[in-house]
Amino acid sequence: MVGQTPASTPTAVEVGAPSPGRNLYLKVQLSGKLKPSSLKTGAVIEGVLAQPVYSGQHEYLAASSRVRLTVDKLERRKRTRNDHWPWVVQMFTPRHENYHTFHSAVVSLHDGKELPLQDSLISIANKVAVHADTKSGQAEKEGAGPAKAQKAPRGLLMTLQANTLGDESKVASGEPIRFPAATLATGTGARIILLDGVSASKNLPGDAFQARLVEPVRVGTEVVLPEGTIFQGKVVRSKRPRWLSRSGSLLLTFTGVTLPGSSAGNPIVASVTGAEVDPASHTKIDSEGELKGSPGKAWMLANIAVTGGIAKVADDGIQLLVEALSSTATDASTAGTGRIVALCASGVFMITRHGRDVMLPQFTEMNIVLDRPVSLNLPRSQAE
């Protein structure tokens, strides 16, 4: 991702090249017709890299490179909790699911060669890219305009973490990485993945987390921040989902950046401008970078349907109970009592319904932007 022109680049420092076999982050665009639930052991999956894969300051694998994977085995595991549906609906949802495991993949390079990778699955899911509302043109930077940038579908994506098994010369070329001393201007963007999961219901203000840069940040043609750079962040504000279907919200900020091979960090101030989320979560990002949950039509209709069902069951149940206890009771005489109980039961259900949570699992991809200029201070031991 290209940043702004630096105020100065007086010096540069060199450190060792990336170590062979380091972790790589791959995102594979799969066929939209593929159903993950139908995959069996031995099934072959094909797709293309949705974006380039970087190692340090070099592009390791080009976007659109073909990827072939084979399902190693299926494991049964507990289903990840979600709040997409009311608890009444979740009662009938299976508590466990089949989890696909992969141990190897083959990437077809553009020169005709094939590169084997040892990989592990992070997720297979439909994703949607959400971006912040227009603020100083930020939404336009992320897409074709505010309306299109707000919600960009990505389709069925497979996210992998991989290590190289074959020719690693592209990962460790023997060339040192150059870290130029530079000043990054306000508005410089970066693409990162979370190394820690964050949610509005579990995290409190002040909680710290980390993220990893997955695409080098350049100033002109010079790499200033290589892939693998670590960002430190913290939770500024979090609101849990509350009664009356009020959804949660989460405001994050990034406070520091540490270059690979360095123990000294550089203070920064950066905010979130975009994230890849589950489309069913209806997560939105406002102009300040705050992530907010939204019920969505399906969620509201499901709750209304459950409310109506509770009212009907309560009404009929009370009438049957009263008639069973009193021989003189009739449908007409118990109708009023049944309606009152039904109204109370359905009202309690609606009032106590919590809204949507904001959940960002580990390895969620995000876009951030610097809110202030940053001068990258080189570690003294490296500068010498």
If you average pLDDT over each of 55-59, 82-86, 113-117, which comes out highest?
A: 113-117
Burial class (CB in 10 A: 0-12, 13-18, 19+), 203: buried
d(CA 72, CA 160): 14
Q: What is the pLDDT of residue 350?
A: 67
- What is the pLDDT at residue 153? 60
Q: pLDDT averaged over the chain?
A: 76
User: Taking the complete model, does pTM exceed 0.85, yes or no?
Assistant: no
The encoded tokens of residue 230 equal 């670590």
Sequence letter at residue 225: L
Instruction: Lowest mean pLDDT of 89-98, 205-214, 365-374, name the range.
Output: 89-98
Evaluate whether 248 touches 355 at the Cβ level (below 8 Å): yes
Q: Is 26 exposed, middle or buried (0-12, 13-18, 19+ CB in 10 A)?
A: buried
Residue 92 phi/psi, 5° resolution? -100, 5
Percentage of residues in the chain with pLDDT exceeding 70? Answer: 72
Reported as a single tens digit per residue, the pLDDT across 21-43 is 467 889 998 876 777 777 888 88
For 197-236, write each residue's pLDDT tens digit. Answer: 999 889 999 999 999 999 999 887 888 888 989 999 999 9
* Chain Cα centroid distance, residue 269: 21
| 10-24, 175-189, 311-325, 338-352: the lowest-pLDDT one | 10-24
Question: Looking at 13-17, 319-323, 344-348, 369-373, which range is the least confident one?
Answer: 13-17
Taking alpha carbons only, the member of 117, 5, 112, 102 closest to residue 53 is 117
371 vs 94, higher pLDDT: 371
Give residue 34's pLDDT. Answer: 76
> Do the beta carbons of residue 315 and residue 342 sit within 8 Å?
yes
Higher pLDDT, 245 or 203: 203
* The pLDDT of residue 103 is above 90: no
More confident residue, 276 or 150: 276
Helix axes 297-325, 331-351, angle to 10 degrees: 140
Instruction: Please give the single-letter amino acid code of residue 311.
Output: A
Domains of the chain are: 12-295+355-383 (2.40.128.260), 298-351 (no CATH)
DSSP letter, residue 120: E
pLDDT at 269 over 50: yes
Structure token digits, residue 338: 């049944």
25 CA to centre of own chain? 14
Beta strands in 169-265 (DSSP E): 177-180, 183-184, 189-194, 198-199, 208-213, 217-219, 222-225, 230-239, 249-258
Q: Please enumerate in sequence order all residues whose Cβ is within 8 A of that of 13, keeping only pairs 6 or more positions apart, or say none.
A: 178, 179, 181, 378, 379, 382, 383
The type of residue at 150 is Q
pLDDT at 90: 66
Mean pLDDT lowest among 126-130, 184-188, 262-266, 330-334? 330-334
- In the chain, count H helices and then E strands: 6, 26
| Beta-carbon-side half-sphere exposure of residue 256 (alpha carbons within 13 Å) | 12
Contact indicator for 256, 267 with CB cutoff of 8 Å? yes
Q: How far apart are CA 196 and CA 211, in angstroms?
A: 7
Distance CA 256, CA 308 (A): 51
Residue 147 is which amino acid? A
Percent of the chain past pLDDT 90, that is, above it, reads 20
SS3 173: coil
Residue 101's pLDDT is what? 84
Position 151 scores a pLDDT of: 59
Question: Stretch 346-358: mean pLDDT, rounded?
Answer: 74
From the list 185, 181, 243, 191, the residue with the least C-alpha distance to 10 is 181
381 pLDDT higher than 50:
no
Q: Are 285 and 272 in contact (CB under 8 A)?
A: yes
C-alpha to C-alpha distances, 208 to 16, 225, 232, 239, 253, nearest whole angstrom: 29, 21, 7, 16, 10
Eight-class DSSP state of 2: B
Contact 146, 138 (CB under 8 A): no
DSSP H helices in the chain = 87-90, 138-142, 146-150, 297-325, 331-351, 380-383
- Contact (CB, 8 A) for 227 and 1: no
Quote the pLDDT of residue 333.
62
